[in-house]
Amino acid sequence: MTATAARPAALDTRRAVLAIAALSLGAVGIGVSEFVTMGLLPEIADGVAVDIPTAGHLVSAYAFGVVVGAPVIAATAARLPRKGLLLGLLVAFLVGTALTVAAPGYGTLLAARFVAGLPHGAYFGVASLVAASLVAPELKGRAVSSVMLGLSVATLAGVPAATWLGQNLGWRTAFVAVVVLAVLTVVAVLALVPRTPGNPEATVRSELGALRRPQVWLTLGVAVVGFGGFFALYAYIAPLTTEVAGMDAGFVPVVLLCFGVGGVLGTVLGGKLADVALFRSLVWSMAATGVLLGAVYVAARNPVSLVVLAFCITIVTSVLVVTLQLRLMEVAVGAELLGAALNHSALNAANGVGALLGGAVIAAGWGYESTAVVGVVLAVLGLGVLAWSAALRRRELRAG
């Protein structure tokens, strides 16, 4: 059963918009939970008595929770009614975030971030399929990008606000705010999202069968290595702003705000471009990511150029996220839930890899700006994987 086959009958435009808005609200809470750790990295490090590179492992723990949770949940839960599955995932996310608030030390905090990450990818996978089922097929890209817009709203408003809250009232208060958002999303999904069936023909074997397709693995590879470059930089944006650009900690939310504005514009643009030329948009956004990360290495010492580059980088990487999401839904024929969820598994593997590599070059004494060089190398690798995918697609077309 495809996403469009599961489309609820007689759903009017207003109800569809409200349902997609409820799904996007969940993306806001998840996005704040994921990214506020980066904005509060110095405060969290002080709070649990570790150095900043060690605190960076908290970013990786959440990311690896997504990597584990997305394929396992998607493969085992594809038959379930999607509204009920969404609610279960939201409750699991709420529990993991509450454990983050209550964690007494670094070890328990590391475990709590892993638990909070487990439902992340599956939530976005299910939400994307539900959103796509509520609209006409030619609007699928824009519907999925509307769900993903929640991540951009998180970086635009939620993360800067939560960062300010954590800096002034203690880092745990930022995650209390996420718990509140999770509760509001549960209520909104209950009230606004229509009942949508799962795939009654799905089995674990049929879902995992998508992993036999080379194009699925190549698209995942683009996400892991290509997008890892962004996270190598973003994971350490707070010390980059203060130690390299020379600004005080109060300027960090301003930089995060620029990431957010760019993310909103890029997500909207990504949905439109994906509906017109999906693969081509994926290629140019990957190339632009590498160029802009290289510019950060050169210009990060100037606060104005850092802000401008933060804005531009997030536009192109948001296009990249949306196009990767739709590309995986396209190539994972018959296992769309797994494909949609695996995008976030791959992106969070990128998050973990990027944070670890960024921390490694910092620990080696190469400076916080060296994380941008890591990003350039990973972006180039991503372009190489895309070239491989394009060559394989040409062979498939000739053979077909």
Q: Is it the case that residue 321 has pLDDT exceeding 80?
A: yes
Show the CA angle centred on residue 358, arms to residues 260 and 344, nearest 5°.
55
For the chain, how many residues are written? Answer: 400
Predicted confidence at residue 152, as pLDDT, reads 79
* Both structure tokens of 109: 């905090």
Q: Is it the case that residue 10 has pLDDT exceeding 60?
A: no
d(CA 138, CA 156): 28
Q: Report the pLDDT averaged over residues 320-343.
A: 81
d(CA 356, CA 319): 24
89 Cβ contact list (under 8 Å, min separation 6): 73, 119, 122, 123, 126
Predicted confidence at residue 384, as pLDDT, reads 93
Predicted confidence at residue 3, as pLDDT, reads 41
d(CA 326, CA 311): 23
Q: 352-381 pLDDT, tens per residue?
A: 788 888 888 888 888 888 888 998 999 999
d(CA 324, CA 346): 10
Q: 168-190 pLDDT, tens per residue?
A: 999 999 999 999 999 999 999 99
Predicted confidence at residue 202, as pLDDT, reads 65
Predicted confidence at residue 333, as pLDDT, reads 73
DSSP symbols for 324-370: HHHHHHHHSTT-HHHHHHHHHHHHHHHHHHHHHHHHHHHHTTS-TTH
d(CA 360, CA 54): 10
d(CA 73, CA 297): 39
Q: What share of the chain is helix, strand, coil (3-state, %, to 5)?
A: 85, 0, 15
| pTM confidence score | 0.76
Cβ distance 258 to 333 under 8 Å? no
